């Protein structure tokens, strides 16, 4: 770990298993890091803390350089940057901001996260993956993952899908936890958010998209995450209008807004569907689930809330269910687009806060299915003449 604040250095040095090297900003150069890496790749730090006295330009340059050349190093800054600067810092690859007098628990969480990140560096785009969509600033699509049932894999699919999409469109994907009561996106991705949905739905964020961006948490895989609130009661009175506005604001900043939802069709989910371009409907091969999906699809269709761009994903597929894919299709009345096999390592990876998409040993059936889902959605990127109904936010 590299740090530059005397007090912080002293505090971190007493934490078990950590070693801090304090450096003058002038010595933090690419040459020095290249030299360290060439002598011993293990000698690169896990975490770089940029002190509050560092000039902004220098901090941005260090963060950008590190993000590009040494992506396993987490960079955090100390201080209280203005919202505009914070966005710039995060775009430069800064993962987090440490407030002055940060408590031990948070410090340890950040150090632990840097450790995990080093063990699982972000995966570069696979060869043959679809190219990032042309950087048309007007392009944006909202992808919403729904199901009438819980425990069918909505969160597993949305988190891994967002990571897969970010591999093709780095920094251009935001994942939103719209399971307002019991959302578990942050836990699944092992994120320690400082700001959550509660802040994002505040009047302050609703009237200032730049402020809203500071409420996102950066994930090392190159995506932004709007994490759910700590308390299930925090967003009890959220209106459909607030949700629509939030998603519109995010659409004005990101090409891809991936939304994880609660089971069923609660008000936030219906509001999200109102501004959704691509819906991913998740079913399992369980008869009760398949029937509920049929009813959900029919209802949405009656309400005019079923986007034409839809993907029916059959998750937890195995041969033991007694149902065949064509039985599912017959009940639901839609073709199954993606079959996602039951795969024991999905849960294991989630329990470790390290999504399966980011594991070094890749290529299992779950990963393949999510990649093909990601490719399918990315292929909806702008065709010539495509005009997206971009919602303007004052």
Ligand X SMILES: Nc1ncnc2c1ncn2[C@@H]1O[C@H](COP(=O)(O)OP(=O)(O)O)[C@@H](O)[C@H]1O
Out of 173, 227, 340, 377, name the contact with ligand X by CB under 6 A. 340
Whether the CB-CB separation of 173 and 250 falls below 8 Å is answered with no
Kindly report the three-state secondary structure assignment for every residue of 340-378. EECCHHHHHHHHCCCCHHHCCCCCCHHHHHHHHHHHHHH
Please, which residue, 98 or 300, has the CB nearer to ligand X? 300
CB 324 within 8 A of CB 337: no
Q: How far is the CB of 56 from ligand X (least distance, A)?
A: 40
CA angle 132, 133, 136 (to 5 degrees): 135
Report the 10 Å Cβ neighbour count for 13. 13
Query: Which of 366, 367, 370, 377 is the binder for ligand X (CB under 6 A)?
Result: 366
Single residue of 301, 347, 379, 390 touching ligand X by CB under 6 A: 347
Nearer to Mg ion, 155 or 374 (CB): 155
From the CB of 50, what's the least distance to ligand X, in Å? 36
Give the CA radius of gyration of the chain.
22
The Cα–Cα gap between 142 and 250 comes to 9
* Residue bearing tokens 């450096």: 23
Residue recorded with tokens 């003058």: 24
Which of ligand X, Mg ion, none does 169 bind, CB closer than 5 to 8 A by kind? none
Does the protein bind ligand X through residue 113 (CB under 6 A)?
Answer: no
42 CB-near residues (< 8 Å, 6+ apart): none
Partner that binds at residue 84, options Mg ion, ligand X, none, CB closer than 5 to 8 Å by kind: none
Residues 180-199 that bind ligand X (CB under 6 A): none
Q: Which residues contact Mg ion (rule: CB under 5 A)?
A: 154-155
Distance, in Å, from the CA atom of 327 to the CA atom of 286, rounded to the nearest integer, reads 11
Interface with ligand X, residue 162, by CB under 6 A: no
**Does residue 249 interact with ligand X by CB under 6 A?**
no
Token pair listed for 258: 């991936």
Q: Please state whether 137 falls in left (phi above 0), alpha (psi between -120 and 50) or beta.
A: alpha
Q: Choose among 146, 171, 172, 173: nearest CA to 157.
A: 146
224 binds, among ligand X, Mg ion, none (CB under 5 to 8 A by kind): none
Instruction: In angstroms, give the least distance from the CB of 154 to Mg ion.
Output: 5
For residue 316, the minimal CB distance to ligand X (Å) is 5
Among 4, 5, 144, 155, binds ligand X (CB under 6 A): 155
| Candidate segments 46-54, 128-136, 296-304, 335-343, binder of ligand X by CB under 6 A | 335-343
Query: Cβ closer to Mg ion: 172 or 260?
Result: 260
Q: Of residues 300-319, which lie at the interface with ligand X (CB under 6 A)?
A: 315-316
Q: Is 350 in the site for ligand X (CB under 6 A)?
A: yes
For 316, the 3-state DSSP assignment is strand
Interface residues toward ligand X, by CB under 6 A: 147, 150-156, 315-316, 340, 342-343, 346-347, 350, 366
């Amino acid at each position: 770990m590299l740090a530059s604040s005397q007090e912080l250095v002293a505090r971190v040095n007493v934490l078990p298993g950590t070693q801090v090297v304090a450096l003058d900003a002038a010595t933090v150069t690419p040459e020095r890091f290249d030299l360290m890496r060439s002598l011993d790749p293990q000698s690169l730090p896990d975490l770089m803390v940029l002190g509050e006295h560092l000039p902004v330009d220098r901090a941005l340059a260090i963060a950008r350089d590190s993000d590009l050349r040494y992506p396993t190093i987490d960079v955090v800054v100390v201080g209280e940057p203005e919202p505009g600067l914070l966005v710039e810092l995060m775009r430069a690859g800064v993962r987090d901001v440490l407030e002055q007098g940060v408590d031990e628990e948070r410090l340890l969480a950040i150090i632990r996260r840097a450790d995990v990140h080093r063990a699982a560096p972000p995966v570069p785009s696979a060869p043959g993956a679809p190219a990032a969509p042309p950087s048309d600033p007007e392009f944006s699509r909202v992808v919403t993952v729904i199901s009438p049932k819980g425990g069918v894999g909505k969160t597993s699919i949305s988190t891994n899908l967002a990571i897969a999409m970010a591999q093709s469109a780095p920094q251009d994907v935001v994942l939103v936890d719209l399971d307002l009561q019991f959302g578990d996106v942050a836990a699944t991705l092992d994120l320690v958010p400082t700001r959550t949905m509660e802040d994002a739905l505040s009047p302050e964020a609703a009237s200032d998209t730049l402020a809203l961006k500071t409420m996102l948490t950066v994930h090392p895989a190159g995506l932004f995450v709007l994490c759910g609130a700590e308390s299930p009661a925090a967003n009890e009175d959220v209106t459909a209008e607030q949700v629509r506005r939030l998603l519109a604001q995010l659409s004005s900043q990101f090409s891809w807004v991936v939304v994880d939802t609660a089971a069923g069709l609660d008000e936030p989910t219906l509001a999200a569907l109102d501004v959704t371009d691509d819906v991913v409907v998740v079913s399992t091969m369980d008869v009760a689930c398949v029937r509920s999906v049929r009813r959900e699809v029919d209802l949405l269709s009656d309400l005019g809330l079923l986007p034409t761009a839809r993907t029916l994903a059959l998750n937890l597929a195995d041969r033991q269910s007694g149902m065949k894919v064509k039985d599912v299709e017959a009940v639901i009345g839609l073709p199954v687009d993606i079959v996602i096999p039951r795969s024991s390592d999905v849960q294991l990876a989630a329990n470790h806060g390290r999504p399966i998409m980011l594991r070094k040993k890749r290529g299992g059936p779950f990963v393949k299915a999510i990649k093909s889902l990601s490719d399918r959605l990315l292929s909806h990127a702008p065709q010539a003449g495509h005009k997206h109904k971009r919602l303007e936010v004052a």
